[in-house]
Amino acid sequence: MTTLDTPDTPFAVVDAARLDRNIARLRDRLDALGVPLRLHVKTCKSVDVAGRVHAGGPITVSTLAEAEHFADAGYHDILYAVGIDAHKLSRVAALLRRGVTPTVLLDSLAQAEALTRFAHEEGIRIPALIEIDCDGHRGGIAPTDPALVRIGQALGDGLAGVLAHAGESYFAYTPDALRQAARNERDTVLAAADALRAAGLPCPIISVGSTPTAHAATDLTGVTEVRAGNYVFFDLVMAGIGVCTTEDLALSVVVTVIGHQPDKNWIITDGGWMATSRDRGTAAQAVDQGYGLVANLAGRLIPDLFMTGASQEHGILTSRADRPLPHLPIGTRLRILPNHACATAAQHDRYHVISGTTTGSATPVVDAVWPRHNGW
């Protein structure tokens, strides 16, 4: 029997009970709001995780490698939500020819014209969403930008709708601010749809999403789909803005204590940034969690202990406010709860799956190993 004591450390763990609870929570929310989910698989990159959500259902991907991997597993409605460049269109066309509907994203006339030219030459239709900027976070155009209608016209029958991502909602620190981010994401993308329709263009798809806004929205009238992906695992950044609690974190990294520096109040582990990533997403939050919180193997947080330093294969744990360190001898295994699940998961090529956090002191049993599909 394999338990969390068995594999060589470091390795990634998924708590399936928390995973399923997180999945059910958003499903219930979206059912109540009457809007379907388009799971973003960029966090999990796992067919096994996606299967717990909706096997074969609509997904969002962040790379064409994800699109191809999920197509192999029977997913046929795939949105590639990173602005498309012409050189990637041959892989998009290959997906289309194997029966997948691969929708692409763009926010410029140059991209729209390149897409239309390519589709015409190939004799195919590649559906495209126009990216709408709702909060100045990254890409997209404003719904009032005259380029919007010109892009829609340039897409011709490729125009499939509009998309917004409230990236700034990761920095919304109150329930009110989160609800406002969700309202703004919806209102902005609906305004863009109205602008297209007012110009006589179709806009069947109105796509919104981020894990914070998906959990804060109270009215999604007019929206046709919600994208979210981080929520399957959650992380300390999400806990820091109040979207979840640390009890919801389904991803962790098992490490082993390999040394002590008592003069510095340090415990040294074999889990460095190679195992956790360099992500310091909580550094800007009210409570800086370093590189992560520390739990015992059963999953219970060890009070005041956190990971403050990382080199490639070494982690440094210490106590907050110079509290005395717990007695954790060499060989002790611990679980690090990460800042940013997307970044930490990306450092691993598989998940060790446990059925849940045990009561008592029993070491959780590993029920399965799920592969991850990294790369581009």
* Contacts to a copy of itself by CB under 8 A: 8-11, 42, 62-64, 82-88, 91, 107-108, 110-111, 114, 133, 136, 138-139, 167, 256-261, 264, 268, 270, 273-274, 277-280, 309, 311-314, 316, 329-331, 342-343, 346-347, 349, 374-376
Q: Where are the alpha helices (DSSP H) in 166-296?
A: 175-198, 211-216, 236-240, 273-276
Q: Tokens for 189?
A: 């993308």
- Min CB(34)–a copy of itself separation in Å: 29
For residue 307, list its beta bridge partners. 292, 317
| DSSP characters over 316-376 | EEEEGGGPPPP---TT-EEEEEPS-HHHHHTT-SEEEEES-PPSTTPPPBEEEEEE-----
DSSP states of 222-255 as a string? T--EEEE-GGGT--HHHHHTTSS-GGG--EEEEE
Residue 154: strand, helix, or coil: helix
For residue 143, is the peptide bond before it cis, meaning its omega torsion is within 30 degrees of 0? Answer: no
The residues, any chain, with a CB within 8 Å of residue 25's CB and separated by 6 or more, are 215, 231
Shortest separation between residue 70's beta carbon and a copy of itself, angstroms: 16
In the complex, least distance from residue 372 CB atom to a copy of itself, rounded to whole angstroms: 11
Nearer to a copy of itself, 11 or 234 (CB): 11
Q: Smallest distance, Å, CB 247 to a copy of itself? A: 25
If the CB atoms of residues 163 and 257 are measured against a copy of itself, the closer one turns out to be 257
Instruction: Name every residue whose Cβ is closer than 8 Å to that of residue 285 and which is 6 or more positions away in sequence.
Output: 173, 237, 240, 241
Which of residues 18 and 280 has its CB atom nearest to a copy of itself in the complex?
A: 280
Which is closer to a copy of itself, CB of 197 or CB of 278?
Answer: 278
Cβ distance to a copy of itself smaller for residue 207 or 347: 347
Quote the least distance from Cβ 28 to a copy of itself, whole Å.
Answer: 27
CB of 90 to a copy of itself, least distance (A): 9
Closer to a copy of itself by Cβ: residue 111 or 220 = 111
